[in-house]
């Protein structure tokens, strides 16, 4: 992908900047429990308002399924953003219509306005739903919803800024149709998206070597595209999580009650053959009869007894993987090594997190691919020790698969 213009390249003084952000943050009784996505957007937000722009923010939150639902309101986010910015943040009770229009018109230079959840309107994610249904075109009624929402959102801005990497893999109205409607006005990326493209794109296009990928999670099927795209680029792929047992089973190993995609054994075997030694599998596992906190565990080699299941990588694997990572110059990590939410099966994931922190100190570029890996690094208190933590779980995964992001392709090239 060609480099994109950023919001810093645009003169925003006196202009309405419509910025798509990803404020899809976890809430507990209206209280934000993790504000990382909001904090990561602050650089671009301040860039606009400090230079006299009139900033209109739009985002989704949760899955309200096209209708207003109070538990998915962005009002708590507006209040929290006001605290972070130490200046007023106005809130519009809808993202379109008379109330939103009036608040946009009343804005002055340096003002901030957050619109209500764009997913309160059915048109927002209809394009994705149409594609998933197998249809080639929306119905006339669906097209009316899409076009109507596009027109009403686009009128809020003279400049469009995509600062929502977590939804860049979704061709939603606020991500795709709105920037097309705002043209020929500038359509650019924010600093958060620019940073994601620089680190993820740079790692794939021109990595310092050795280049190591760490892949975990439950299913080989979830990571097929990533493995196939990375194999020609990396020097090693370290496998953990439940997906490792599908690979081990494909080699004829007994894996007991471990999770396994039996219908993917031929695929796993084929990937190992293609890898020509680049894929490394666990040499031992922490096993138990059931998944429960504080349960009795046993360390097993590649053969696991019939009454046990593998739930984490073992000490030999930890040492092996740590040795590989100590020599790496570029590392991408996507997916935990075990069921890290349930001690004692968090040791492998924490060990990998610590190994990455040490690699960063030694000069390696360490990139955490969002989702559970990011959560694990945060929980371990090691977030500041990594080079880059992606804000996009699904988006990071699809980027690593090499899929094109049309939501970014349509924006202005640098």
Provide the 8-state DSSP code for 318: H
User: Do 392 and 37 touch, CB atoms closer than 8 A?
Assistant: no
Of the CA atoms within 13 Å of residue 330, those in its CB half-sphere come to 17
371 catalytic per annotation: yes
Is there a catalytic annotation at residue 37? yes
Q: Which of 4, 15, 20, 37 is catalytic?
A: 37
**Of 269, 215, 211, residue with least CA distance to 242:** 215
- DSSP alpha helices (H): ranges in 60-139? 75-85, 98-105, 126-133
CA-to-CA distance for 400 and 410, rounded, in angstroms? 20
Are 149 and 124 spatial neighbours (Cβ–Cβ below 8 Å)?
Answer: yes
Are the C-beta atoms of residues 216 and 376 closer than 8 Å to each other?
no
Q: Active-site residue among 219, 269, 329, 385?
A: 219
The strand order across the sheet containing 309-313 reads: 298-300, 285-288, 309-313
Compute the C-alpha angle 284/285/286, nearest 5°.
140
Catalytic residue flag (residue 75): no
166 is catalytic: no
DSSP string covering 340-369: TTSTTTTHHHHHHHHHHHHHHHTT-EEEE-
DSSP helix/strand/coil, 175: helix
Cite the active site residues.
37, 219, 371, 394
């Amino acid at each position: 992908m060609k480099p994109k213009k950023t919001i810093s390249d645009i003169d925003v003084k006196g202009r309405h900047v419509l910025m798509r952000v990803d404020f899809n943050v976890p809430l507990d009784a209206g209280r934000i429990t993790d504000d990382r996505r909001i904090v990561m957007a602050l650089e671009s937000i301040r860039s606009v308002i400090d230079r006299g722009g009139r900033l209109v923010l739009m985002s989704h939150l949760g899955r309200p399924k096209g209708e207003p639902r109070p538990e998915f309101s962005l009002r708590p986010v507006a209040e929290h953003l006001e605290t972070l910015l130490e200046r007023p943040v106005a809130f519009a009770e809808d993202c379109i219509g008379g109330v939103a229009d009036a608040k946009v018109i009343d804005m002055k230079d340096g003002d901030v306005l957050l619109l209500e959840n764009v997913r309160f309107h059915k048109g927002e994610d209809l394009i994705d739903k149409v594609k998933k249904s197998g249809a080639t075109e929306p119905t006339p009624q669906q097209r009316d919803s899409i076009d109507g929402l596009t027109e009403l959102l686009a009128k809020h801005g003279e400049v469009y800024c995509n600062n929502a990497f977590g939804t860049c893999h979704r061709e939603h109205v606020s991500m795709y149709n709105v920037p097309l409607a705002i043209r020929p006005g500038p359509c650019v990326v924010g600093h958060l998206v620019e940073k994601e493209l620089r680190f993820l794109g740079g790692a794939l296009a021109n990595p310092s070597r050795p280049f190591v990928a760490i892949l975990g999670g439950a299913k080989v099927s979830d990571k097929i595209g990533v493995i196939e795209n990375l194999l020609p680029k990396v020097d090693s792929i370290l496998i953990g999580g439940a997906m490792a047992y599908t690979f081990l089973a494909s080699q004829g190993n007994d894996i007991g009650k471990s999770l396994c995609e039996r219908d993917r054994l031929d695929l796993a075997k084929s990937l190992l053959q293609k890898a020509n030694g680049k894929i490394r599998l666990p040499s031992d596992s922490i096993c138990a009869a059931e998944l429960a906190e504080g349960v009795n565990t046993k360390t097993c080699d590649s053969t696991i007894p019939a009454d046990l299941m593998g739930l984490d990588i073992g000490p030999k694997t930890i040492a092996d993987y740590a040795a590989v990572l100590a020599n790496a110059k570029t590392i991408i990590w996507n997916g935990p090594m075990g069921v890290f939410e349930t001690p004692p099966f968090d040791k492998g994931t924490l060990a990998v997190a610590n190994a990455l922190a040490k690699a960063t100190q030694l000069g390696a570029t360490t990139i955490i691919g969002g989702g559970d890996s990011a959560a694990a690094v945060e929980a371990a208190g090691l977030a500041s020790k990594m080079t880059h933590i992606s804000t996009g779980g699904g988006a990071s995964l699809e980027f690593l698969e090499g899929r094109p992001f049309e939501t970014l392709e349509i924006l202005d090239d640098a």
